[in-house]
Amino acid sequence: MYYATKNGVEKRLESWKIIIPLSDNQQKGFPEKIIEVTKSKIINEFGGLTSCNVVGYWKSGRDIFFDKSIMIMADISVKNHKTASTFFVNLKEELRQKLRQEKVYVTCESQKSELLSDNEFLRELGFEIPVDQLQQLTQENINKLVGESGIVKKRLGYKTLSLKRNKKSKKIIWERDILGIKILTEIEDSYPKDVVILPADNLEMYFTEDSFGKPLIIIGDYEYQSYILDKEKRRYIVGDSGIFSKYDKGNKEPLYGPHLWHGMLRTSQFIPTFADQILINYIILRELGIEKHKIKINVGSDGSMQRGGGKLLRCPAIIPDQKVQKVIIKSLEKAIDSYESGAIDEIALMQAKVMNRYNEKRALIQGSQKLDFSDRNYQ
């Protein structure tokens, strides 16, 4: 929950605390791994935490007892109260059983506020805003950015309005719009004169014929889109990698390298990743106006080619197992049917576009008869 103030943006938080004993009633210490795993779970779920050692005292009869514990605190937005509540209730019970305790102490303190500058607020949402460039936001702006994040997610965020290089000031001036809010960023320009500067969200408009053969600098790198997609669990268009786990061969399994962008993968991860890559190329050909029946796709021991309308795209990979080749082809058929019928998972498609440089490929192929990313760092 965010609110505009005279000095910036107020962020409403809840402070969740969990106290974990370090030893049992016989003063035998618990394994440190339990604490480390607990911290990792909280960080992965909520982005961060604070921890400190504490000592608890209690009286029983005439005697006073004490124990050493660790207190873990996490400040979480009040809008995530339900998620946080479920998470800590489950964590509390899990620790109670593992540590053989009658009770694990959890508290929630509500209505805590953090004061953010307008720039900090925008950076928290994933925008690339330099610290020294003040952005003025109203409550209406804030409500749009936060309240309509679902719409933003579906349409991949912002739109570049202009991108220019100012030779005198040596600045790259980048203006973009999101939900009617204009954001201006100036970036230090220390790049060579022949470098082509392109915005990640609209490469096609800025990529011209004289850009071929020149080094490219991509501004934004999908900025807000990457931020939103990073919050989502990785999805595959052809199905979760668990579906293909039966093709793994344990320690004897060869690792596949579809391209440098994804690194070396097990078979269960390689199949959906490689199929996603091919599907994105297919979508690019379709969006260039090439009819479905004129696009030919093959998958063999050296990877895949996608042809149509005089255009050729390649996805190099070493695939020695013919069974894996056939599984990729069948998975692709299902994915293409989903795409053509409009039933495809929108988030999975967005993630596949970001992971496989959709905008960059499309901009390049419009001016080239053949597109081969086999020796490029991003493919």
Give the DSSP H/E element, type plus range, for residue 149.
helix 149-154
Q: What is the DSSP string of 74-133?
A: EEEEGGGHHHHHHHHHHHHHHHHHHTT-S--EEEEEEEEEEEE-HHHHHHHTT----TTS
In the chain, the N- to C-terminal Cα span, in Å, equals 39
Give how far Cα 65 sits from Cα of 27, 59, 62, 95, 208, Å: 12, 6, 10, 22, 76
Q: Which residues have CB under 8 Å from 208's CB, separation 6+?
A: none
The bridge status of strand 370-372 relative to strand 196-199 is unpaired
Q: And the tokens for 221? A: 């790198």
The residue written with tokens 């500058």 in the block is 117
Domains and CATH numbers, the chain: 2-116 (3.30.70.120), 118-230 (no CATH), 241-372 (no CATH)
Q: How many CB atoms lie within 10 A of CB 347?
A: 17
Q: Which residues have CB under 8 Å from 194's CB, separation 6+?
A: 214, 215
The tens-digit pLDDT sequence of the chain (379 residues) is: 777 777 778 888 899 999 988 887 777 888 888 888 899 889 888 888 999 998 888 777 788 878 888 999 999 888 888 889 999 999 999 998 888 888 888 999 877 888 888 777 777 776 766 666 666 777 877 777 766 555 444 444 577 888 888 988 889 898 888 777 788 888 888 888 888 888 877 766 777 777 777 777 777 766 656 666 666 677 888 878 888 988 887 766 667 766 555 567 888 889 999 999 999 999 999 988 999 999 999 999 889 999 998 888 988 888 888 999 999 999 999 999 999 998 888 778 877 887 787 877 777 776 554 444 443 332 2
Predicted confidence (pLDDT) per residue in 49-78, tens digit: 999 998 888 777 788 878 888 999 999 888
